[in-house]
Amino acid sequence: SSSATDSKDLRAKLVLLGDSGVGKSCIVLRFVRGQFDPTSKVTVGASFLSQTLALEDSTIVKFEIWDTAGQERYAALAPLYYRGAAAAIVVYDITSPESFSKAQYWVKELQKHGSPGIVMVLVGNKADLHENRSVSSQDAQEYAEKNNMFFIETSAKTADNINQLFEEIAKRLPRPTA
């Protein structure tokens, strides 16, 4: 069959949540365009970027990735943003305990108001800044396990674990039963 109509192909809305400045936009641009630009204001805005990923079992996953245009500052707007999302990446900065607390707030929000069965992943970004680390990997891993989330540390700057992050999400998406 042609790949465009293959029943194994998946399409998934994916959103990113987390404090301003933790690197959400940089993670998206690293994954979609393979770039990191420390000088640009990279927030993508209201529309989405899409990127496909081929899995080992030959499933093609098409991510429709929504980046916030600063909605993370307005908790009341968030449900409009994550409505219908199949997956959510909750991001904190490993050098910022405040951003880890905020990530936990977003996890609770998604548990209360997200789509049932939404795939949630906890991401500690800016792993390249390990000399200034102030959130331990172990604390984050334990929190993630308690909340049934996959946990990974990434660097949008060095590209470390960025593709792995999206592959792990793709593997966890529910497969059509037909």
| Residue 136, both tokens | 């331990």
Q: Does residue 25 bind Mg ion (CB under 5 A)?
A: yes
Helix ranges (H only) for the chain are 24-33, 78-82, 97-113, 137-146, 162-172
Interacting partner of 125 out of ligand GDP, Mg ion, none (Cβ under 5 to 8 A depending on kind): ligand GDP
Kind of pairing between the strands at 48-54 and 10-17: unpaired
Binding piece for Mg ion, criterion CB under 5 A, among 22-30, 112-120, 149-157, 165-173: 22-30
Q: Does residue 43 bind Mg ion (CB under 5 A)?
A: yes
Residues paired with residue 91 on neighbouring β-strands, in sequence order: 123
| Residue 113, both tokens | 């108001």
Helix ranges (H only) for 53-96 are 78-82
- What whole-number distance in Å separates Cα of residue 37 and Cα of residue 42? 8
Residues 73-92 that bind ligand GDP (CB under 6 A): none
3-state DSSP assignment of residue 151? strand
Which of 82, 86, 103, 126 touches ligand GDP (CB under 6 A)? 126
Which of 133, 157, 171, 172 touches ligand GDP (CB under 6 A)? 157
φ, ψ of residue 96 in degrees (nearest 5): -130, 100
Q: Does residue 22 bind ligand GDP (CB under 6 A)?
A: yes
Q: Smallest gap, in angstroms, from Cβ of residue 65 to ligand GDP?
A: 12
Decide if 55 contacts 170 (C-beta within 8 A): yes
Q: Which is nearer to Mg ion, 21 or 34 (CB)?
A: 21
Q: How many residues bind ligand GDP (CB under 6 A)?
A: 17
Decide if 100 contacts 153 (C-beta within 8 A): no
Residue nearest to ligand GDP (CB): 23
Binding-site ranges for Mg ion (CB under 5 A): 24-25, 43
Binding-site ranges for ligand GDP (CB under 6 A): 20-26, 38, 42-43, 125-126, 128-129, 155-157
